[in-house]
Structure formats: structure tokens, C-alpha cells
């Protein structure tokens, strides 16, 4: 059974499954005022693995990941760039899709945009106003009244009285609580980034957008609601308040949040100027290695970014592909049950412990290499394990390349040296056949000095780059 940590209850719980085996998952997507950074990459790669595993387990998944294509940041950036807001958002969405394609992040079942759901959002706000969960403030904005939702703060475990609210804040907004948040921002009539509503031209607030889009697609039940930890408060707290007030039957069974990325012992943040953009990272590192790196730390632990970690992921990925090399996987249709597979499933069932799941892949890889050193590559056990390695890797979204293509792609800078490397390998093999072990070791060490690692099987010697 799948156990996941619920951010609401602060404990692990068995994932609730309806009799129809339908799982509804909503993940808060990107606000497209800028390019995606590795924090986005970490979150969306993790939930991509969640969706892959649920589908692998034959659940009927309905996966929604929204796009926020209008808000204050997008408007400010469009003015700064002297760029039309739709041109800006479309440009960022295009780059996001390119990044996600390279990182092998599957497209969700639904990807609603705010600008395509304005009428739905207006109806949602009107319902809140009608039932007196919202009000029109002195400046014309429509605001949600947190006093009408006594459970406010439960998700983030914050009591309203703990918030530091000055007396001047109450005076400046004497009508209601200064913690009340905006549902509809009233704008001037000539504002081109606004829509007509019963309360005047304006645009929606951030929190109401997700509540409206998630419930319009998934109705009154969300089994998994995910996002980065930075969204826990106020965004998800406000989402929960709105959605529950609009429909008392509404419930989120499990809240899941990915931890932050740390760079030089500081939280990665665009405001701090230390954000690493995915598009820049993808120019310097193999995309599959980046994915492996972002999965190498448990999702509820901070991810400490360092180049050495990325380099290590490149080496580890090469080791996995090396195990698959020269094995004909077309001879099998499916893998059988094995202790490796059961251990892999057990790791993912344990709050998606992907680092442990990865360790299972390396155990399989080592077993394959041991067998390769003893038997022909056509050995049935080798083929079975290689097929299993590829199958389990696909759940994590890795090992999808043909091994030869992978090495050719990643070894292109060495293309002019391949003949030279093969020449020394032939000389070393000749020395080994003649039991000239000292000479063979000297050649191995010489190649190692060039950054080339040799790996011997029963009948062949293969090489790979050391990074």
C-alpha cells in the first residue's frame, strides 16, 4: 500500500483510493513571468514520477497542472520589457515546454491557463459573495473574509492570533481583517490586462485562480494536492479556505510539498538573485543527468545544489547505461517478479523514497555487470535483469535512450580520440592475453589519466568517460 506524508496532518498516511481506482491530482504550476529554475524542475520532476508510478500501478489518474499567465509579476515584467503580456507568457510557456521535454517531464492530462478560465473564476467569486464569505472592500476589490472560515491556518499550522498585525493595519482597513486576501482586483477601465465583471473591470487574485480551476476539473475531491513548500502558506492555505467555503463537501485527502533548493547555504530565490535557470543548466549538463540529480534527494529534504553533485549524477547514469550496453532487450516482453522489483516498489510505497529506489537500480546494475564478466551477453538472466532495469528506470523517467545513442551523444567531444583509445585498448588486451599484467596496468592507468575508465567483461573491454 502506498503511504505518503500528508502536510496537513504532519504524518504518513495510506493513500485513500476510491473503488473506481481513480486518483485526482492537482499540482500548482508555474507563474510564467520568467524562465523556469531548478526549483520548478525539482517539483515538477517529482510529481512526474508520482504520476508515472500511479499509472504503472494501473490507477486511473487525472493529473492537472495549471499555468498562471496573468498576475502582478507578469504585468510588471511585460511593462519592463515593453512586451505584450500574452507575448511574454507565451514565450515563457514555450521555453518551459522545451525544458520539460528535455527533462522527460510528461504533459499532464489537463493544463488550464488562468486567461482561459476567467468566466469560471468570476462565477466562483460571485458564489463566495452571495454566501457572505467575501465582501467588497473600500477600494472596490473583492476580498475573502478569513473570519468566516474558523479553520483558517490549520494547513500551515498557524493560528490567526499568531500573526503580527499592528493596530494601524486594523485602522487602515477597519471594515474587516487585514489578513483577508484579494479575490478580484479592481482596475481602471483603460487597463488592458483586465476583464469585465459584476464588480467592475479587473482581474483575479492568485489564490482564487487555482481554487476555481482545480474544482472545475476535479470537482469536490482532490486526492493529492501538490506544490513547492513555499506555497504552503499563504497560497494553499487560502485555496483550502475558498474551496471549502464554496462547497462543504470539498476535501483534499493528501497535501504533498517538495522542499526548497539550497545554493551556497542560502535558499534559492529569484529575489536573492541566485536562481539557476533550467535552460542555462541544460546548456552545460546532460538533461537526464540533471533529472537524476534532482531525484537523488528525498523530496521532503532540502536539495543542496553543487556542480560536483551534478557531475556525480553524470557518472552514475553512465554506469547504469553501461550495464544495458550490448544486451538485446527485444527478446523479452515483460519482466518477471523479483526481489529487486519488490524492493523498488517498497521504496516508492514508502512516501516516494526515490533515493532508495535508485539504490535498487544500482544493485541491479552491479548484478548485470557481474554476470557479464562470466557469461555471454545473450545469457537469459542478464537479459531479464537488463529488461527490469530499463522498466524500473522508466518509472523514474530515466534510461529511456538506446545505450549506444546515449554514449555516442555524450562522448561527442571525444570523437577524435576514439580511435586512439581503441588502439590502447587493443594493446592492453594483447598484453593481458600474454599475461603481461604490469604493461596492461600501465595502459589502464595511462587512459585513466586521460579521463577514460576501462571496464572488462568476459569477452570485451568497454570504456567510458570520467567526469
Domain extents in the chain: 3-258, 272-401, 411-465
**238 and 144 Cβ atoms separated by less than 8 Å:** yes
Q: Is 298 annotated as a binding residue?
A: no
What pLDDT does residue 271 have? 73
What pLDDT does residue 287 have? 95
* Beta-carbon contacts of residue 164 (< 8 Å; ≥ 6 apart): none
What pLDDT does residue 11 have? 97
pTM: predicted TM-score of the whole model, two decimal places: 0.87
Write the burial class of residue 152 (CB in 10 Å: 0-12 exposed, 13-18 middle, 19+ buried). buried
Q: Can you list the residues of the chain whose pLDDT is less than 50?
A: 166-171, 174
Chain segment 177-233, per-residue pLDDT in tens: 888 999 999 986 557 789 999 999 999 999 999 999 999 999 999 999 999 999 999
* Beta-carbon contacts of residue 142 (< 8 Å; ≥ 6 apart): 125, 129, 134, 135, 136, 182, 183, 184, 186, 199
Taking the C-alpha atoms of residue 377 and residue 424, their distance in angstroms, rounded to an integer, is: 24
Q: Is 120 annotated as a binding residue?
A: no
Q: Which residues pair with 63 in a beta bridge?
A: 25
* Beta-carbon contacts of residue 400 (< 8 Å; ≥ 6 apart): 104, 288, 393, 394
Q: What is the 3-state secondary structure (H, E, C) of the chain?
A: CCEEEECCCCEEEECCCCCCCEEEEEECCCECCCCCEHHHHHHHHHHHHHHHHHHHCCCEEEEEECEECCCHHHHHHHHHHCCCHHHHHHHHHHHHHHHHHHCCCCCCCECCEHHHCHHHHHHHHHHHHHCCCEEECCCCCEEECHHHCCCCCCCCCCCHHHCCCCHHHHHHCCCCCCCCEEEEEECCCCCCCCECCCCCCEEECHHHHHHHHHHHHHCCEEEEEEEEHHHHHHHHHHHHHHHHHHCCCCEEEEEEEECCEEECCEECCCCCCCCCEHHHHHHHCCHHHHHHHHHCCCCCCCEECCHHHHHHHHHHHHHHHHHHCCCCHHHCCCCCCCHHHHHHHHHHHECCCHHHHHHHHHHHHHHHHHHHCCCCCCCHHHHHHHHHHHHHHHHCCCCCCCHHHHHHHHCHHHHHHHHHHHHHHHHHHHHHHCCCHHHHHHHHHHHHHCCEEEEECCCCEEEEECC
Nearest residue to 257 (alpha-carbon basis) of 236, 275, 272: 236
Residue range 272-401, CATH number: 1.20.120.640
Q: What is the dihedral of CA 106, 112, 115, 121, to 10 degrees?
A: -150
Taking the C-alpha atoms of residue 243 and residue 155, their distance in angstroms, rounded to an integer, is: 13
What pLDDT does residue 163 have? 64
**133 and 149 Cβ atoms separated by less than 8 Å:** yes
Residue range 3-258, CATH number: 3.40.50.620
What pLDDT does residue 190 have? 56
Distances (CA, A) of 315 to 16, 320, 447: 39, 9, 17
Half-sphere exposure of 410 (CA within 13 A, CB side): 25
Taking the C-alpha atoms of residue 318 and residue 407, their distance in angstroms, rounded to an integer, is: 8
What pLDDT does residue 168 have? 46
Q: Is 123 annotated as a binding residue?
A: no
**389 and 341 Cβ atoms separated by less than 8 Å:** no
CB atoms within 10 A of CB 459: 11
Chain segment 244-281, per-residue pLDDT in tens: 999 988 999 999 999 999 998 899 987 778 899 999 99
**48 and 100 Cβ atoms separated by less than 8 Å:** no
Length of the chain counted residue by residue: 467
Q: Is 235 annotated as a binding residue?
A: yes
Amino acid at each position: 500500500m502506498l503511504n505518503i506524508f500528508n502536510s496537513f496532518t504532519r504524518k504518513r498516511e495510506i493513500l485513500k483510493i476510491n473503488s473506481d481506482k481513480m486518483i485526482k491530482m492537482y499540482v500548482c504550476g508555474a507563474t510564467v513571468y520568467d524562465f523556469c529554475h531548478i526549483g520548478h524542475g525539482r517539483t515538477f520532476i517529482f510529481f512526474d514520477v508520482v504520476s508515472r508510478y500511479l499509472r504503472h500501478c494501473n490507477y486511473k489518474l487525472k493529473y492537472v497542472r495549471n499555468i498562471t499567465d496573468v498576475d502582478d509579476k507578469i504585468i510588471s515584467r511585460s511593462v519592463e520589457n515593453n512586451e505584450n503580456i500574452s507575448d511574454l507568457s507565451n514565450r515563457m510557456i514555450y521555453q518551459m515546454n522545451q525544458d520539460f521535454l528535455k527533462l522527460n517531464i510528461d504533459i499532464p492530462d489537463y493544463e488550464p491557463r488562468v486567461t482561459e478560465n476567467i468566466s469560471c473564476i468570476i462565477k466562483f467569486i460571485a458564489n463566495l459573495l452571495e454566501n457572505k464569505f467575501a465582501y467588497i472592500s473600500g477600494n472596490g476589490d473583492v476580498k475573502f473574509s478569513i473570519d468566516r472560515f474558523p479553520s483558517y491556518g490549520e494547513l500551515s499550522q498557524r493560528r490567526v492570533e499568531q500573526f503580527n498585525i499592528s493596530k494601524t493595519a486594523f485602522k487602515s482597513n477597519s471594515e474587516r481583517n487585514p489578513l483577508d486576501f484579494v479575490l478580484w482586483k479592481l482596475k481602471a477601465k483603460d487597463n488592458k490586462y483586465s476583464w469585465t465583471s459584476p464588480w467592475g473591470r479587473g482581474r483575479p487574485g492568485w489564490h482564487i485562480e487555482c481554487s476555481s480551476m482545480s474544482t472545475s476539473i476535479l470537482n469536490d475531491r482532490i486526492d493529492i494536492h501538490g506544490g513547492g513548500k513555499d506555497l504552503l502558506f499563504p497560497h494553499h492555505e487560502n485555496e483550502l479556505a475558498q474551496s471549502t467555503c464554496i462547497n462543504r463537501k470539498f476535501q483534499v485527502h493528501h497535501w504533498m510539498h517538495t522542499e526548497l533548493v539550497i545554493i551556497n547555504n542560502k535558499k534559492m530565490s529569484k529575489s536573492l538573485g541566485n536562481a539557476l535557470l533550467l535552460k542555462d543548466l541544460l546548456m552545460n549538463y546532460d538533461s537526464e543527468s540533471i533529472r537524476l540529480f534532482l531525484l537523488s534527494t528525498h523530496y521532503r529534504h532540502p536539495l543542496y545544489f553543487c556542480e560536483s553533485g551534478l557531475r556525480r549524477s553524470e557518472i552514475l547514469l553512465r554506469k547504469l547505461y553501461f550495464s544495458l550496453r550490448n544486451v538485446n532487450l527485444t527478446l523479452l516482453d515483460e519482466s518477471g517478479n523479483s526481489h529487486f522489483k519488490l524492493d523498488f516498489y517498497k521504496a516508492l510505497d514508502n512516501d516516494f523514497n526515490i533515493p532508495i529506489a535508485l539504490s535498487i537500480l544500482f544493485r541491479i546494475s552491479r548484478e548485470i555487470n557481474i554476470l557479464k564478466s562470466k557469461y555471454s551477453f545473450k545469457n537469459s538472466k542478464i537479459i531479464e535483469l537488463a529488461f527490469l532495469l530499463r522498466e524500473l528506470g522508466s518509472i523514474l523517467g530515466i534510461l529511456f535512450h538506446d545505450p549506444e545513442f546515449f554514449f555516442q551523444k555524450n562522448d561527442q567531444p571525444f570523437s577524435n580520440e576514439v580511435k586512439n583509445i581503441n588502439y590502447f585498448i587493443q594493446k592492453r588486451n594483447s598484453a593481458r592475453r600474454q599475461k603481461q599484467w604490469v604493461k596492461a596496468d600501465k595502459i589502464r592507468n595511462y587512459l585513466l589519466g586521460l579521463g577514460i575508465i576501462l571496464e572488462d567483461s568476459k569477452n570485451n573491454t568497454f570504456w567510458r568517460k570520467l567526469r
